[in-house]
Amino acid sequence: MKTCTKCKQTLPLTEFRKQSSTKDGLKYCCKECDNKAAKSYYKKNKGKIVNKVKEWQKNNPEKVKGYKKSYYGKNKSIQPPTVPGDDT
């Protein structure tokens, strides 16, 4: 059992996410508090995060291309090629 530093609840270790930088390898706050923090962080910094992603895409056009390529490549392999009228 471990006590969350935010909500002060004592919870089983399974309720804490892993974090290698801490002594016990787990985060100080529980999953629930972690989720809340992440949500509020995202809400506060939504614009910043979106801009960061956009900036990254701008600076890494090759990576974006490769990602799209592999995505479509995967989809292609899932769908069998249909060529109507090619069964002569």
Please answer whether residues 48 and 55 qualify as being in contact, where contact means their C-beta atoms are separated by less than 8 angstroms: no
Nearer to Zn ion, 2 or 6 (CB): 6
Please answer whether residues 69 and 77 qualify as being in contact, where contact means their C-beta atoms are separated by less than 8 angstroms: no
| Helix boundaries (H) for the chain | 31-59, 61-78
Please answer whether residues 52 and 27 qualify as being in contact, where contact means their C-beta atoms are separated by less than 8 angstroms: no
User: Could you say which residues in the range 17-36 bind Zn ion, by CB under 5 A?
Assistant: 29-30, 33
Which range, of 5-13, 17-25, 42-50, 77-85, touches Zn ion by CB under 5 A? 5-13
Nearer to Zn ion, 5 or 60 (CB): 5
Nearer to Zn ion, 9 or 57 (CB): 9
For residue 22, the Cα-to-chain-centroid distance in whole angstroms is 22
Which of 2, 3, 6, 43 is close enough to bind Zn ion by CB under 5 A? 6
Nearer to Zn ion, 7 or 64 (CB): 7
Q: What is the DSSP letter of 18?
A: B
What are the residues binding Zn ion (CB under 5 A)? 4, 6-7, 29-30, 33
